[in-house]
Amino acid sequence: MKFVVVLCIFIIVLSIMLFFEGWFSHKSQVKKNQYMSEQNMYGKASFDKFRKEFDSVLWTHDKEFKWSLFYYKENSYECISEIHADIFMFNHIGMIMKTPIDYWKAIRYAHKYIKTHFADDLKRKNTKLYKWE
């Protein structure tokens, strides 16, 4: 009986850690990205603010990054907004979700957008792989 209780507690603790790990990674990635790009501008936001900013962007999808979205400056390769590798950036300003629940809602919202608008890209196989004989 003690084993079952310990196992249940372990599973619950592990689940909570995994739930928070994504959010902690997101916070770290946004800060590091802003530092590396010498922008050093980021702030906290709720899911509602994320959705408002997200819906105002005309996103493009790169097949190399299955769950990422980008918005580039017109006639340029300068990325202005991105949803990539746990980084949420709008107009060069990093956005950190206030809570883990906001973070997971934002991830689901972005994934649903990709599935809806770029379904053909998700179906295509990576054609750059070389088959060695």
Q: Is the pLDDT of residue 104 over 90?
A: yes
Question: 41 by DSSP, 3-state: which?
Answer: coil
Question: How distant, in Å, are the alpha carbons of 59, 83, 93 from that of 113?
Answer: 10, 11, 21
Q: How confident is the model at residue 128 (pLDDT cuts 50, 70, 90)?
A: low
Question: Cα 93 to the chain's mean position, in Å?
Answer: 15
pLDDT of residue 64: 85
Note the pTM of the prediction, 2 decimals: 0.81
| Interval 4-60: pLDDT, tens | 899 999 999 998 888 899 999 999 999 888 877 777 799 999 999 999 999 999 999
Query: DSSP character for 125?
Result: -
User: How do residues 73-100 score in pLDDT, each as one tens digit?
Assistant: 888 888 899 999 889 999 999 999 999 9
For residue 45, the model assigns a pLDDT of 97
More confident residue, 124 or 103: 103
d(CA 81, CA 57): 8
